[in-house]
Amino acid sequence: MASSEPAYDPKRTESWLICTACGTQFPTANRLELKTCFICDDPRQFTLPTGQAFTNLRDIRAVAKNVWTPFESDDRFASIHTEPKIGIGQRAILINTPDGNVLWDCLTLIDDDTVNKIKDLGGLKAIVISHPHYYSTHVEWARAFNCPVYLAAEDKQWTTQSSLHQVFVEDIELDLQIDGKSSGVKAIKLGGHFPGSFVALYKEHLFIADTLVTTPSGLGSWDTDAIGAARVRPAGLNSYSFMWSIPNMIPLAPDELQRMWSILKKYDFSSTHGAFLKMDILKTVPEMKRRVLESMQIQIKYMGYGNHAFLKETVP
């Protein structure tokens, strides 16, 4: 890394302002200079009923901690989230590959405990962030671990800081390289929620963040009835919704869903892992792909596009 990139120093930026609604850090401590968050002024996001407010890492570090939750099904993955909730409250996911660790998405809180724990696990080789609502303090994370952070080129306008660690991805698929060879982690640009919204794929695990929004009926279980008898999941239930704005409930248009599917259908995945804890669906490859397609078709149908050509699409 060029010498013009500042080294990680937890004290240097601890007073910089962080939006309390989205958790994004701005490179100033001057509340007269920064009065609003342009990310939360975008129609996809919102300010709190109490109005625009800012905090900083010094105050967050005094009251919050990052909590680790290993995946029950696979010890190669661990969720990290912050308690009490900061900003949106998303999780990051540590992906352990044979060539090193990759962090999927990012958190606002970065502190000594988190840095030391990750370094004890081998550090980070790369960070991949799904979309601008989770940009948070990604420059601090990249500096702490001296690693690249991959962001979609289409969404560069939403960054609040510039760094030599940032890599803006132009292609639809990024085969993440570690020390000159493939890590097996793929970042796939589906768009939708933001023009550059990513999902990530590793060993049939699809990390979806908010690009696909996991629904309660997707997580629900219909395997047995109240007395333990086997049953079949009822028809017509979705597992995901596809939103331009999640909090403001603005759905994506049918043609956009069709475009997203034209990319995603090329990949095999047997599980999805959403933006928050306990948003994990584990099935088989055919069922997972069927659930995604059917969820898209359900959304299109109930938006009033009953004759849309995409409703005839099937999973081979």
Q: For the segment 223-235, what is each residue's pLDDT rounded down to a tens digit?
A: 888 998 999 999 9
Mean pLDDT in the chain? 96
Q: Which of 108, 129, 142 is nearest to 8 (CA)?
A: 142
Residues 6-54 pLDDT 10s: 999 999 999 999 999 999 999 999 999 999 999 999 999 999 999 999 9
Please give the share of the chain, as a percent, with pLDDT higher than 90.
96
Please check the confidence at residue 57 and state whether its pLDDT lies above 70.
yes
For helices 138-145 and 112-120, angle between their N-to-C axes, nearest 10 degrees: 50
* pLDDT for res 1: 42
From residue 289, alpha-carbon distances to 15, 151, 203, 228 in Å are 45, 26, 15, 28
Those residues whose C-beta lies under 8 Å from the C-beta of residue 160, and which sit 6 or more positions away, are 24, 25, 26, 27, 135
User: Is 87 buried (19+), middle (13-18) or exposed (0-12) by CB count in 10 A?
Assistant: buried
Residue 204 has a CB neighbour count (10 Å cut-off) of 14
pLDDT of residue 73: 78
Q: Are 202 and 185 in contact (CB under 8 A)?
A: yes
Q: Where are the alpha helices (DSSP H) in 47-99?
A: 57-63
CA 263/CA 195 separation, integer angstroms: 14
Residue 2 confidence (pLDDT): 43
Model confidence at 165, pLDDT cuts 50, 70, 90, reads very high
Cis omega (within 30 of 0) on the bond before 70? no
Q: In this predicted model, what pLDDT tens digit does every residue of 168-181 receive, in sequence order?
A: 999 999 999 999 99
pTM to 2 decimal places: 0.96
* Residue 73 DSSP label: S
Is the confidence at residue 260, as pLDDT, over 80? yes
**What confidence score (pLDDT) does residue 265 get?**
98
Residue 316: its pLDDT value, please? 81
Buried b (16+ CB within 10 A) or exposed e, 100-133: bbbbbbbbbbbbeebbeebeeeeebbbbbbbbbb
For 266-287, write each residue's pLDDT tens digit. 999 999 999 999 999 999 999 9
Locate 31 and state its tokens. Answer: 């509340």
First to last CA, the chain: 46
- Mean pLDDT, range 84-113, rounded to an integer: 98
Locate 185 and state its tokens: 């982690």
State how far the Cα of 294 lies from the Cα of 204, in Å rounded to an integer.
Answer: 19
Q: Which residues pair with 241 in a beta bridge?
A: 213
Taking alpha carbons only, the member of 2, 3, 6 closest to residue 161 is: 6
Q: Give, as one character, the DSSP assignment of residue 34.
A: -
Q: How far apart are CA 52 and CA 82, in angstroms?
A: 21
Tell me what pLDDT residue 44 has.
98
User: What is residue 3's predicted lDDT score, i.e. its pLDDT?
Assistant: 52
Q: What is the spatial distance between Cα 126 and Cα 97, in angstroms, rounded to a whole number? A: 11
Amino acid at 280: D
- Which residue segments constitute the domains of the chain, with CATH numbers given? 17-312 (3.60.15.10)
> What's residue 4's pLDDT?
77
Short-list 265, 141, 157, 279, CA closest to 210: 279
The beta strands (E) that lie in 170-226 are given as 173-178, 181-189, 198-202, 205-209, 213-214
DSSP 14: T
* Count of CB atoms situated within 10 Å of the CB of 63: 11
pLDDT above 70: residue 208:
yes
